[in-house]
Amino acid sequence: DVKVTQSSRYLVKRTGEKVFLECVQDMDHENMFWYRQDPGLGLRLIYFSYDVKMKEKGDIPEGYSVSREKKERFSLILESASTNQTSMYLCASSRQGNSDTQYFGPGTRLTVL
Amino acid sequence: AQKVTQAQTEISVVEKEDVTLDCVYETRDTTYYLFWYKQPPSGELVFLIRRNSFDEQNEISGRYSWNFQKSTSSFNFTITASQVVDSAVYFCALSERQGTGNQFYFGTGTSLTVIP
């Protein structure tokens, strides 16, 4: 079975803090994705990566950065957390190709106070 | 414009009723893929089905069935004899080629509540 894990299920941070959300997949997938999920807005793509050290902006990259130093790990970084970044963050991975299913981690619910 | 539209925000049904969740998509690609995911209260999105644009055959898996119609750009999902465990948010998604890779577009989800 595909396994995507995220470092925390719940996280509480203060405004201005630097926040790291980690995602690890164990299926040797080339593609990895970060989404945020907000009520009424569905899933919105923040960043994605098709290969190690490669990243591309999604629909809402402002205020976020990412890092992919190893194939299995994709990190989302909030350089200076703000209250409007309070959300559920979902990581996903897939093989290359648009036919391939994205598999999701359990999500991290981040609250920024 | 929304690539994937799930017009039903919330649906409530009584247990054992059938329910259909609608999904309308928009794409110019001739090759694309459609998906349905289930998100139970635990939060993790669970993959249910993938369908490619060349296969319009309906699919049935137990109590679940999917109706794909390219003519109306719809990929609807029906749950027969609903159960309380079906209560979840359901997302429809479209995958199409973009540059050297592919991108997923998710609908805003339909929250289904099955009342015992």
In terms of DSSP bridges, do strands A10-13 and A108-112 run parallel, antiparallel, or are they unpaired? parallel
Residue B83 binned pLDDT confidence (cut-offs 50, 70, 90): very high
pLDDT above 90 (res A39) = no
How far apart are the CA of A79 and the nearest CA of chain B, in angstroms?
A: 25
pLDDT above 70 (res B99) = no
| DSSP codes, B52-107 | ETT----EEETTEEEEEEGGGTEEEEEESS--GGG-EEEEEEEEEEETTEEEEEE-
Minimum Cα–Cα distance from A56: chain B residue: B101
Return the structure tokens found at B112.
């289904």
A105 neighbors A7 (Cβ within 8 angstroms): no
Say how far apart CA B28 and CA B96 lie, in whole Å. Answer: 9
Block residue for tokens 């989800």: B109
Q: What is the pLDDT of residues A76-106, one digit of tens each?
A: 999 999 999 999 999 999 987 656 788 999 9
Q: What is the mean pLDDT of residues B69-81?
A: 95
Task: Collect all residues with Cβ–Cβ distance below 8 Å to A48 and sequence separation of at least 6.
Answer: A31, A32, A33, A34, A55, A56, A58, B101, B103
Predicted confidence at residue B70, as pLDDT, reads: 92
Residue A98 touches chain B, beta carbons under 8 Å: yes
Predicted confidence at residue A107, as pLDDT, reads: 94
Predicted confidence at residue B43, as pLDDT, reads: 85
Of B31, B47, B108, the CB nearest to A42: B108
pLDDT above 90 (res B101) = no
Of A31, A42, A107, the CB nearest to B91: A42
Measured between its terminal Cα atoms, the distance across chain A in Å is: 37
Rounded (to 5) percent helix, strand, coil in chain B: 5, 55, 40
